[in-house]
Structure 1
Amino acid sequence: MATGLLSAAACGGGDDGGTSVGGSGGTGGTGGSGAPMFRGECASTDEIGVFIVQHEPDYSVVSGEVLSGVVPSKILFEVGTEGDCTLWQRKNPFCDPPCKPGDTCDQSGACVPYPMPKSVGAVSVSGLAKAVEMAPMSYYDTNMPHPAFAPGAAITLKAAGGDYPGFTLYGEGFAPIAIPNETWTITKGQPLTITWTPDSSAPHATVRVRLNIDQHGNSPVELVCDVKDMGTVTIPASLIDQLVGFGVTGFPSGHVSRHTLDSTNVGPGCVRFEVFSHVLGDLQVAGHIPCDAATPCPMGMTCDLMTGTCL
């Protein structure tokens, strides 16, 4: 399960915590009082590894992966921002001629070796509903109690060290994220408000909202809002208009996650530890009817399978 964790698409139906979109990692661990210091996430240009404690509505799992370098296609580019919300673009690198097996195309159009899995030794996670011990290169535990953590729990991940030196990262437990049963409709020229049930059990927890409406784009843009856990965020109309302007294809996806983030510099890059609870929202775009081979269009319209759009 851990294999491919870093290279999985961050905008799919599930959620692996998403690609890091900001932060610079760190080298510390605890403050002078001995309390954990939460250093945020890695920059996408630096992230070579991630460990997650994941809570979905029906299951919990712990998994992770560390690679020898940054996966070029996971690097994100900021193309718009306002307040707590940012538009991040994923550019799919192109190489001509194509790269040979075992290589990948970097953002400059050059072929480079694809990052390979690396060991950070045995990895333990304490503070969960059960103690987790993961062997080197087998960083997953799918046999977790559900939920895997309690509100207010102090969670610690320790890597013993292997190909790269060992490290310690921190997380906190909180209540599962909960959103109303409602539809979010993106309409040009109008702001969009998204709400959830707030929680105060984890002082370092924040909420991330992610919206993707261009599922078939060559360089898709995702709107990401990172906010305090106050129960609401309003996305400005200006960012909504920019998001729509980058393209609308396929079935829109909306995600809300409550999470804590810690990271540290390891080997040639940065490793992130994310504890999160994730739910999918019902996202629609005004005037856009998505389709695919299993979801036909209304009578009188046809499905453009390349763009997943009824015409």
Structure 2
Amino acid sequence: MPSVAGAPPYSSLLGKVYDGPQPEAIQWVTAATANGCTLLTPKVPFCSTPCGGSAVCVAENTCKPYAASQTLGTVTANGLATQSGAATFTMDPVANAYQPPAAVRLAYPVYREGEKFELVTSGSAFAPSFTIGSRGVAALDLTTSPISLAQNTPLPLAWTAPAVPGSKIHIKLDISHHGGSKGKLDCDLPDTGSTTIDAGLITQLLNLGAAGYPTIIMTRSRAGSAAVTAGRIDLVAASTVEKPVNVPGIISCTDTSECPMGQTCQPDLTCR
């Protein structure tokens, strides 16, 4: 992953498989769409009888159990670069989650763009042995700076286009998450190197309100999949960048000393 908030870039590998989709407590409702982007607003259903710790309220008075994590046996990774130079290593589940053991340190980058890598499972009661592969993606370089929002103004974004086709771009623009999200923009786009988010969507997002430290998160990804009896398992190669966003009237803070004279730092991390 490229740097976030000035931290150095790093590689990571983490996997977990469930016996079904994971239900969510917040339901996102489509408010508007334009050019591959969707404005979503949150809705929290109410269940008069609490769902307890093993389920979540997904609709009015409707509880749905959480999906259960599963093991796939030992997983062998092939084609990922490590600091030792080894191109193969194994992972055993810990609480049904998979990541490289402490003795294995991933290199950065962990693969070359377009280069194939794969995971091979030894099999389990949940799924017999299978192989799943994907291809590496280039580190994402979001070149637009600064990123500023304004009423009735489209938001142009540019990034370095990939040399190898096959990847896609996801954008998440949530400017109120530190105050309890009032809405967000989700975009699923072709990886062409540029896009422009519709002025109407930007205006509607701003009108929902903002909190401190608003950011935009952009992800380049490419996925492979494998069919198992219970459904489908995906292996996703991704590169993510998170950058600050300028919002009119918002001064972010973690302490009142960071605010202009006469203002105090609020729970939503804004000066007022």
Instruction: Name the TM-score, length of structure 1 as normaliser.
Output: 0.71
1:169 aligned to which of 132, 136, 143? 132
Higher relative contact order (CA 8 A, sep 6+): 1
- Aligned residue for 1:80, secondary structure, equals strand
Q: Distance in 2 between matches of 1:241 and 1:219?
A: 16
Equivalent residue number for residue 134 of structure 1? 91
The yes-or-no answer on 1:70 pairing with 2:21 is yes
Pick the aligned partner of 1:184 from 144, 147, 150. 147
The answer for unaligned runs of 5 or more in structure 1 is 1-12, 15-55
Q: SS in structure 2 opposite 1:245?
A: helix
1:97, CA displacement in angstroms?
4.6
CA contact 2:23–2:64 (8 Å) conserved in 1: no
Deviation string 1:15-64 (CA, Å, 9 cap, x unpaired) is: xxxxxxxxxxxxxxxxxxxxxxxxxxxxxxxxxxxxxxxxx952111111
Q: Which residue of 1 aligns with 2:84?
A: none
| Aligned with residue 113 of structure 1, among 43, 65, 83 | 65
Structure 1 counterpart of 2:163: 200
Structure-2 change in CA distance of 1:57 and 1:205 (3 Å) = farther
Partner SS state of residue 238, structure 1 = helix
Partner SS for 1:260: strand
Query: What residue is the counterpart of 1:84 in the other structure?
Result: 36
Q: Tell me the matched-pair count.
A: 256
- Distance, in Å, in 1 between the alignment partners of 2:138 and 2:269 is 36
CA distance in 2, matches of 1:290, 1:267: 49
Residue 309 (structure 1) aligned with residue 270 (structure 2): yes
User: Any stretches of 5+ residues in structure 2 without a counterpart?
Assistant: 82-86
Q: List aligned pairs for 1:5-154, cutoff 5 A.
A: 57-73=8-24, 76-129=28-81, 130-136=87-93, 137-141=96-100, 143-154=105-116
CA-CA distance at 1:234 after TM superposition: 0.8
> Residue 250 of structure 1 corresponds to which residue in structure 2?
212
Verify the 8 A CA contact 1:214 1:252 in the aligned structure 2: yes
Distance 1:160 1:225, change over 3 A: same
CA 152–222 in structure 1, closer or farther in 2 if over 3 Å, else same: same
Cα gap change, 1:128 to 1:289, in 2 (>3 Å): same
User: Is the 2:171–2:187 Cα contact (8 Å) retained in structure 1?
Assistant: yes
Q: Report the CA distance shift for 1:294/1:254 in structure 2 as closer, same or farther (over 3 A).
A: farther
- Stretch deviating more after TM superposition (142-151 or 174-183): 174-183
| Pair 308,152 (structure 1): closer, same or farther in 2 beyond 3 Å | same
Deviations 1:173-209 (A, max 9, x none): 13211123722011111001111112212x2112222
Deviation at 1:212, TM superposition (A): 1.0
Task: Give the Å deviation of 1:76.
Answer: 4.3
- 1:208, 1:226 within 8 Å by CA — same for their partners in 2? yes
Q: Judge conservation of contact 1:91–1:219 (CA < 8 Å) in 2.
A: no
Report the Cα offset of residue 267 of structure 1. Answer: 5.2
- Between the aligned partners of 1:96 and 1:265, the Cα distance in structure 2 is 38
Residues 68 and 117, structure 1, Cα contact 8 Å, conserved in 2: yes
Q: Hey, what does 1:290 align to over in structure 2?
A: 252
Structure 1 residues 88 and 268: alpha-carbon distance in aligned structure 2, compared to 1, 3 A threshold: farther
CA contact (8 A) 1:122 1:134 kept: yes
Separation in structure 2 between the aligned mates of residue 115 and residue 228 of structure 1, nearest angstrom: 31
Could you say what secondary structure the match of 1:208 adopts?
strand
User: Helix, strand or coil for the counterpart of 2:12?
Assistant: strand
Larger Rg: 2
Three-state SS of the structure 1 residue aligned to 2:152 is coil
Residue pair 2:135, 2:223 contacting (<8 A) in 1 also: no
